[in-house]
């Protein structure tokens, strides 16, 4: 599918994102996120996501940034669905999340990886020296490729210069589910199977 056809697909509505984080994380696979910055337009197809917030088998998600309550940093997670929550890891890497669920119920989907479908020339500058297959194969890499920083935390992805649009899962793709990575600090959440990834089907699938 050409980039133009991806961009013609319907935008997500707030109602579609007003659902639990696990449902939303699966729903966002294959979707596209577009960011028009002063430098230009970049579009990415989402191929890996993680859910944060809520409970699993009676245990709270203590890996969620909202687990201990509202702070200045995580405030977007407590707002209505359809906004960005962006945070900085180790003062180096930005991580982009889409806020989901009902207003006041903190939940978000971490955008772990994707494939650039528009704006290659700009991403090549942002990711100088990196091979295209590695431009956005991690959460920090994805945010850098899209030009996303904490300045966009709390901004809507439903219209304007950030737009989340519907995609599709190809016939030769399937979803795999695993535990989330990099959250060994969590007592319960480190074992939640809330990571979702698109992979190519094998011949026997």
pTM assigned to the model: 0.96
Q: Report whether pLDDT(131) > 80.
A: yes
Using DSSP, state whether 50 is helix, strand or coil.
Answer: strand
144 within 8 A of 163, measured Cβ to Cβ: no
Give the C-alpha separation, 40 to 124, whole Å: 12
Mean pLDDT in the chain?
Answer: 95
Asked whether 21 and 129 are in contact (CB, 8 A), the reply is no
CATH of domain 14-200: 3.10.300.10
Averaged pLDDT for residues 35-58:
97
Res 5: pLDDT: 80
pLDDT given for residue 148 in this prediction: 98
Question: CA-to-CA distance for 46 and 52, rounded, in angstroms?
Answer: 17
Instruction: Mention every residue, 6+ apart, whose C-beta is less than 8 A from residue 160.
Output: none
pLDDT of residue 205: 64
Q: Supply the DSSP string of 171-184, one letter for each residue.
A: TTEEEEEE--SS-T
> What average pLDDT does the segment 155-171 reach?
96
DSSP-derived letter for residue 33 is E
Tens of pLDDT, residue by residue over 9-33, are 899 999 999 999 999 999 999 999 9
Task: Please report the pLDDT score of residue 30 as a whole number.
Answer: 97
User: How large a percentage of the chain has pLDDT more than 90?
Assistant: 91
Q: Are 172 and 18 in contact (CB under 8 A)?
A: no
In this structure, the dihedral spanned by the alpha carbons of residues 116, 135, 86 and 108, taken in order and rounded to 10 degrees, is 60
Give the tens place of pLDDT for each residue, 68-111: 999 999 999 999 999 999 999 988 899 999 999 999 999 999 99
Per cent of the chain over pLDDT 70 is 98
- Other CB atoms within 10 Å distance of the CB of residue 113: 17
| Degrees, nearest 5: CA angle 200-133-202 | 10
DSSP sequence for 132-176: GGGSSSSHHHHHHHHT--GGGTT-BSEETTEEEE-----TTEEEE
> For residue 1, what pLDDT is reported?
62
Domain boundaries, the chain: 14-200
Q: What is the pLDDT of residue 48?
A: 98
Does residue 4 register a pLDDT over 90?
A: no
């Amino acid at each position: 599918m050409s980039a133009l056809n991806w961009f013609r697909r319907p935008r997500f509505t707030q109602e579609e994102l007003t659902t639990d984080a696990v449902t939303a994380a699966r729903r966002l696979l294959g979707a596209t996120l577009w960011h028009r910055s002063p430098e230009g337009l970049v579009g990415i197809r989402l191929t890996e996501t993680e859910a944060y917030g809520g409970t699993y088998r009676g245990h709270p998600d203590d890996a969620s940034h909202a687990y201990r309550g509202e702070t200045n940093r995580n405030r977007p997670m407590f707002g209505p669905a359809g906004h960005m929550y962006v945070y900085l890891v180790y003062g180096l890497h930005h991580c982009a999340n889409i806020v989901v669920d009902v207003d006041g119920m903190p939940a978000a989907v971490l955008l772990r990886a994707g494939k650039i479908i528009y704006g290659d020339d700009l991403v090549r500058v942002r990711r100088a020296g990196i091979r295209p297959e590695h431009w956005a194969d991690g959460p920090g890499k994805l945010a850098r490729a899209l030009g996303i920083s904490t300045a966009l935390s709390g901004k809507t992805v439903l219209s304007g210069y950030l737009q989340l649009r519907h995609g599709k899962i190809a016939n030769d793709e399937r979803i795999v589910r695993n535990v989330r990575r990099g959250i060994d600090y969590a007592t319960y959440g480190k074992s939640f199977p809330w990571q979702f990834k698109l992979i190519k089907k094998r011949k026997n699938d």
